[in-house]
Structure 1
């Protein structure tokens, strides 16, 4: 086919058709469905799509935290994230995936490369003025961008040492990570580390997400 020729085969269907088809998509097929065409992707971006997906799999016997109950989901705040988190409680193929995962923190890798830190927050756990205990929560998403997370032995040889390296460009495969080009954060000592996906039922979240 000539380089500049336009493909005239096929037909573009209205968004209403894709919204109708989206009502029958399994949760694990949402990504594949959204890649069919622009209108299919648009359908998966609507509040109606995520609300219907939640209602299809919700049941009264489900043990859901308050932030994932129907009243909270109906408020539409962080709707997509709430529905996805709900599915790991409600949808058997997803809940089985969690139950078959190695227990935490044994499954925590020593290195996380090319991930983006979306959010970080700190909570005071306990301790006097002389010895404070803090809980650091970093929300990472696995993307080809900007970061390296490394765990090794602390200087006191009894705990962990966590190093977070941030830079503006991703690390190219086969190239060495240049920590001096970005910002480095070192936490030492660290008593425990748990690394999990943002949708995991054990992932710490606030009532707002």
Structure 2
């Protein structure tokens, strides 16, 4: 009796195969010694596919052919071993091309039926119900929602919804001045920190001295400085040292920020000369003479305990140019400013209620 290993596998050529030449040995329930892969060979399946296409046409046979190919591939995944014939490689390449075409058609159909495009008027109506802290989330829904947040009508309605007569607002933030288009967005945001309770509480809870030294001022350029004598809770007068900084704008790989462009008719609404500015206000118990630092870059900012262990001490170091990223901060050389003893330290962004407003004409 011959051994099973001596049995020859059936060989098929794609050109000679027809419906009559398909035998039992070509199917999964055949003797595994005869058909080692235990599945229909891809060369046979491709030949049958071509014959069916010729008889019935491509569209009529597409479903049946795909069913045969899918069943054959599923059985082949569980089988042990595979055929090394060149006809199998040709069948695999044809199957991959067919799958790519199907995936491409599915992707195009899904993109064409993805969501609805609503007019801007609907988003303008919905914006009347948006809380001030949710404006950013609302603008990220779609381009139309973002366009609504650029309009003067959106910011004017937001101001009128939260305006209260009993709140004492600066002159520039009064209703008569809000009607101007210029810097409307910045003025509304500033007024919300007076009118809107969640925003005002956020500012009022800030301590007189920060818990940790702020690092956002590093590499910022000081372009304005002034000293002011104020009266506080103490019988002696206090001195306010104000440093106005321009924050360094981040650089992008392409040289510009990837952002949406504002509509030209609303560029005045979003104008804000102080958008990247902040004011460092240090209040001391005594007047201290300091050198001129306007035009210099802040490279070191520390808040430590004073030598008498009763107050705090602020140290600022300015350089001619900003420190490059990755290098050690320069505390040697440059212009040094030491304020001691310190009563309070405040870092105010442009929207802070105590931020000094410029005069608009």
TM-score of the two chains, using structure 2 as the length reference: 0.44
Give the structure with the higher percent strand: 1
Q: In 2, are the aligned partners of 1:88 and 1:95 still within 8 Å (CA)?
A: yes
For the pair shown, the structure with the greater C-alpha radius of gyration is: 2
What is aligned with 2:315?
A: 161
Q: Deviations over 1:29-85 (max 9, x none)?
A: 000000111111111111111111001110111111112111222223321111111
- How many residues in Structure 1 have an aligned counterpart in Structure 2? 193
| Pair 1:88–1:134, CA change in 2 (3 A) | closer
Q: CA deviation at 1:185?
A: 6.7
- 1:68 matches 2:173: yes
| Structure 2 counterpart SS, 1:160 | strand
Alpha-carbon distance in structure 2 between the residues aligned to 1:65 and 1:95: 15
What is aligned with 1:150?
A: 301
Give the structure with the higher percent helix: 2
What is aligned with 1:102?
A: 206
| Structure 2 counterpart SS, 1:136 | strand
Q: Deviations over 1:2-46 (max 9, x none)?
A: 589452211111222211211211101000000111111111111
| Structure 2 counterpart SS, 1:208 | coil
| Pair 1:138–1:59, CA change in 2 (3 A) | same
- 1:123 matches 2:226: yes
Q: Deviations over 1:115-174 (max 9, x none)?
A: 785874223547xxxxxx984332466976798652256xx99842213576497x5xxx
Q: In 2, are the aligned partners of 1:119 and 1:138 still within 8 Å (CA)?
A: yes
Q: In 2, are the aligned partners of 1:152 and 1:162 still within 8 Å (CA)?
A: no
Q: Which has the higher contact order (CA 8 A, sep 6+)?
A: 1
| Pair 1:84–1:139, CA change in 2 (3 A) | farther
Alpha-carbon distance in structure 1 between the residues aligned to 2:163 and 2:334: 41
* Bigger Cα displacement from structure 2, 133-142 vs 21-30: 133-142
* Bigger Cα displacement from structure 2, 133-142 vs 69-78: 133-142
TM-score of the two chains, using structure 1 as the length reference: 0.71
Query: Which structure 1 residue ranges, 5 or more long, are not aligned?
Result: 127-132
What is aligned with 2:258?
A: none
Provide the alpha-carbon RMSD of the alignment: 4.0
| Pair 1:109–1:90, CA change in 2 (3 A) | same
Query: Which structure 2 residue ranges, 5 or more long, are not aligned?
Result: 1-101, 230-238, 252-296
